[in-house]
């Protein structure tokens, strides 16, 4: 049948008990997605490059247009391509976007945290590793623009009831993560912070006094960063996160 794109993938010929389902042939749409992904990841197709049109891909792979479309859906939802309609439409290779990775990891953590594999304490522990170090690096590295951004973020206090807090600009912790100058801090720290924030927001267990105290800690941390004092910035961030711990644990018990 035309849809059988490649030959069989025989199951592992071993004596050990394996849990894989014996499925000889991957669906054609999956194989086509795999082939196109390989071209993208290897650099054969670069950011902004346009894939052949759907009819052209049909000819190239010898399959129907609905099979091609399913393959493109796979790639698009993995943020490898994006499609546009119209005369200049088509599927274009996406620009690498860390924000999407952050969102995807955050979604995974959000699901995992409600299973026995991941606990709130694990998130708090990881945060306690990342964010004090982030504050330290920010104090060491931040240029004047970055320092301005950190100070501004500390000066815009937020509470869950304030819708402006979540619209348009990063909050204080995000700004610190970015101020490290190392994108990995954001990619690792942001998903953790997002899950924790969502949980706190949902639980509605933080008093105004507690918010005021948190905002004050933000200001102190920002001032240490502005003053170029890494040790103080790190220590203050660690104290701040330790102070927050009971709030998260209170939220976690709901």
Binding residues for its own copies (CB under 8 A): 21, 29, 33, 41, 43, 66, 69-70, 73-78, 84, 96, 98, 100-101, 104-105, 107-112, 114-115, 117-118, 122-123, 125-126, 129-130, 133, 182-185, 187-188, 192
CB 214 within 8 A of CB 244: yes
Buried b (16+ CB within 10 A) or exposed e, 215-238: bebbebbbbbbbeebbebbbbbbb
Q: Which CB atom, from 10 or from 87, has the smaller least distance to DNA?
A: 87
d(CA 92, CA 217) in angstroms, rounded, equals 45
CB of 214 to DNA, least distance (A): 43
C-beta of 22 vs 209, nearer to DNA: 22
CB atoms within 10 A of CB 1: 4
Q: Of 208, 213, 224, which is closest to residue 151 (Cα–Cα)? A: 224
The DSSP element (H or E) to which 200 belongs, if any, is helix 183-203
- 246 binds, options its own copies, DNA, none, Cβ within 5 to 8 A by partner type: none
Pick one of DNA, its own copies, none as the site partner of residue 115 (Cβ within 5 to 8 A by kind): its own copies
Structure tokens, 94: 């996406």
Only one residue has tokens 């330790």, namely 242
Tell me the three state secondary structure of residue 81: strand
Nearer to its own copies, 53 or 66 (CB): 66
157: Cα separation from own chain's centroid: 24
- 84/100 with CB nearer DNA: 84
CB of 17 to DNA, least distance (A): 16
**Joined tokens for residue 222:** 């920002």
Lookup: tokens for 79 = 């943020």
Binding-site partner at residue 185 among its own copies, DNA, none, CB < 5 to 8 Å by type: its own copies
Residue 101 interacting partner from its own copies, DNA, none (CB closer than 5 to 8 Å by kind): its own copies
Which of its own copies, DNA, none lies near 125, with the C-beta cut-off 5 to 8 A by kind?
its own copies
Q: Closer to its own copies at the Cβ: 75 or 221? A: 75
Q: What is the dihedral of CA 27, 54, 98, 145, to 10 degrees?
A: 180
β partners of residue 50? 92
Element (H, E) at 102: helix 98-112
Q: Least distance (Å) from DNA to the CB of residue 74?
A: 11
Q: Which parts of this chain interact with DNA (CB under 7 A)?
A: 1-3, 21-25, 27-29, 53-55, 62-67, 69-70, 72, 83-91
Q: How far is the CB of 44 from DNA (least distance, A)?
A: 18
207 binds, among DNA, its own copies, none (CB under 5 to 8 A by kind): none
Least Cβ distance, residue 215 to its own copies (angstroms): 27
């Amino acid at each position: 049948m035309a849809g059988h794109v490649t030959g069989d993938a025989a199951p592992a010929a071993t004596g050990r008990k394996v849990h894989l389902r014996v499925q000889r042939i991957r669906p054609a749409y999956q194989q086509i997605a795999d082939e196109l992904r390989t071209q993208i990841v290897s650099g054969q197709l670069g950011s902004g490059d346009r894939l052949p049109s759907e009819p052209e891909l049909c000819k190239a792979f010898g399959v129907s247009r609905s099979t091609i479309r399913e393959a493109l859906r796979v790639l698009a939802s993995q943020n490898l391509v994006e499609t546009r309609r119209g005369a200049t439409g088509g599927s274009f290779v996406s620009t690498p976007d860390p924000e999407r990775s952050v969102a995807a990891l955050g979604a995974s953590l959000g699901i995992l945290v409600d299973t026995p594999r991941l606990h709130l304490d694990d998130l708090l522990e990881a945060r306690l590793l990342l964010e004090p170090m982030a504050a330290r690096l920010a104090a060491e590295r931040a240029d004047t623009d970055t320092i301005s951004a950190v100070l501004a973020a500390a000066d815009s206090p937020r509470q869950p009831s304030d819708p402006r807090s979540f619209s348009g600009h990063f909050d204080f912790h995000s700004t610190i993560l970015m101020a490290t100058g190392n994108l990995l801090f954001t990619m690792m720290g942001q998903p953790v912070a997002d899950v924790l924030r969502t949980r706190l927001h949902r639980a509605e267990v933080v008093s105004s006094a507690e918010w005021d105290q948190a905002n004050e800690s933000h200001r102190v941390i920002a001032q240490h960063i502005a003053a170029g004092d890494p040790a103080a910035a790190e220590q203050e961030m660690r104290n701040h996160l330790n102070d927050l711990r009971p709030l998260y644990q209170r939220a976690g018990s709901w």
